[in-house]
């Protein structure tokens, strides 16, 4: 395959973004579980609020499946997790402990199979699964149309509002590097 940056430079919409922002890279998080918890914290809150909650949580408990499962729910809530997110983080920790999830576990699976496995966990929707594909597993062809930043970036780049189906259709041109396109779209809407 070609270099993702060279590939996207040839696109009339993303080429200028590659020139403006340089060669953005996808680097899988060192700790798959901690990255997963961070994604849950970031669900439907501002980045500032998520960062504060993440810092309190990571200071309060050992952010491993075992550490979360051993922590009292009141401690998790005192760190800033809502009752619902406390449940979700516990469900994810249980799934990691039960299934021994790791990068290796998912290595041979298609993106769709990874999404199906992860969204079977209570509290994990498509957006959270896509964030794991992108940031924990480093997959190169993920396009999270459910992300507000992507919707804003697409609107900025194409100068029109689009449905999710229209966004997916437009993004086909960037396959097999839609994850890189995602990074550029996030940068463009900042």
pLDDT-derived band at 144 (thresholds 50, 70, 90) equals very high
State the CATH class of domain 4-26+143-189.
Answer: mainly alpha
Given the candidates 1.10.340.30, 1.10.3330.10, 3.10.580.10, 3.30.420.40, the CATH classification of the domain at 32-136 is 1.10.340.30
User: What tokens were used for 144?
Assistant: 């999270």
pLDDT at 48 over 90: no
Residue 95 φ/ψ, nearest 5 degrees: -65, -40
Mean of the pLDDT values across residues 102-122?
A: 95
The mean pLDDT value of the chain amounts to 93
Distance CA 102, CA 125 (A): 19
Mean of the pLDDT values across residues 126-143?
A: 94
Dihedral over Cα of 128, 156, 26, 104: its sign: positive
Domain boundaries, the chain: 4-26+143-189, 32-136
pLDDT at 190 over 70: no
């Amino acid at each position: 395959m070609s270099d993702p940056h060279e590939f996207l430079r040839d696109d009339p919409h993303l080429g200028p973004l590659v020139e403006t922002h340089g060669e953005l890279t996808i680097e899988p998080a060192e700790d798959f579980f901690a990255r997963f918890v961070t994604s849950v914290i970031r669900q439907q809150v501002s980045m500032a609020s998520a960062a504060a909650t993440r810092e309190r949580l990571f200071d309060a408990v050992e952010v491993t499946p075992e550490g979360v499962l051993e922590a009292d729910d009141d401690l998790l809530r005192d760190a800033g997790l809502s009752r619902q997110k406390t449940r979700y983080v516990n469900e994810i920790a249980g799934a990691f402990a039960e299934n021994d999830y790791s990068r290796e576990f998912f290595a041979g699976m298609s993106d769709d199979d990874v999404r199906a496995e992860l969204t079977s966990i209570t509290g994990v929707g498509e957006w959270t699964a896509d964030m794991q594909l992108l940031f924990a597993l480093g997959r190169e062809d993920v396009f999270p149309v459910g992300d507000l930043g992507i919707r804003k970036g697409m609107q900025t780049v194409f100068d029109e509002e689009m449905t999710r189906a229209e966004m997916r259709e437009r993004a086909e041109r960037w396959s097999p590097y839609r994850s890189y396109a995602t990074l550029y779209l996030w940068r463009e809407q900042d």
